[in-house]
Amino acid sequence: SQELEQSPQSLIVQEGKNLTINCTSSKTLYGLYWYKQKYGEGLIFLMMLQKGGEEKSHEKITAKLDEKKQQSSLHITASQPSHAGIYLCGADMRSNSGYALNFGKGTSLLVTP
């Protein structure tokens, strides 16, 4: 089955600093999704990327999909305490039996004052 590896597993950054989270797939990505989760709560949709080379931004968060490398990156500029949480990437995993959304194990982000 397709696996998604996220790095780093956890991250502590000082407020105002930039950071990048990576998501690497073992197979071709048909669609890549980024979600944020507050501890113990549901997931909040951030962005969806479908085309190779696609880049999307929302406020201070930018995500890119490098389809050739089967990799996506999430970049946060000038981090704030409100950015803290767990970031998960999800990928469209297609098989003969249908499809499912497969997730990485997440990157835990803590932003310190």
Partner 1 sequence: KAGVTQTPRYLIKTRGQQVTLSCSPISGHRSVSWYQQTPGQGLQFLFEYFSETQRNKGNFPGRFSGRQFSNSRSEMNVSTLELGDSALYLCASSPRGGLTYEQYFGPGTRLTVT
Residues 6+ apart with CB under 8 A from 50: 30, 31, 32, 65
* Part in contact with partner 1 (CB under 8 A); list of ranges 18-26, 28-36, 64-72, 75-83: 28-36
Cα 113 from Cα 62, distance rounded (Å):
22
Q: Give the closest residue to 91 by CA, choosing from 23, 22, 8, 10.
A: 23
| Identity of the residue, 19 or 47, whose beta carbon is nearer to partner 1 in the bound complex | 47
If binding is defined by CB under 8 A, does position 99 make contact with partner 1? yes
Binding mask 51-90 for partner 1 (x = CB under 8 A): -------------------------------------x-x
| Identity of the residue, 42 or 113, whose beta carbon is nearer to partner 1 in the bound complex | 42
Contact 52/6 with Cβ under 8 angstroms? no
* Part in contact with partner 1 (CB under 8 A); list of ranges 14-22, 55-63, 64-72, 95-103: 95-103
Burial class (CB in 10 A: 0-12, 13-18, 19+), 91: buried
Q: Provide the minimum distance between the beta carbon of 36 and partner 1 in the complex, in angstroms, as a whole number.
A: 11
By the criterion CB under 8 A, which residues form the site for partner 1? 1, 30-31, 33, 35, 40-45, 48, 50, 88, 90, 92, 97-106
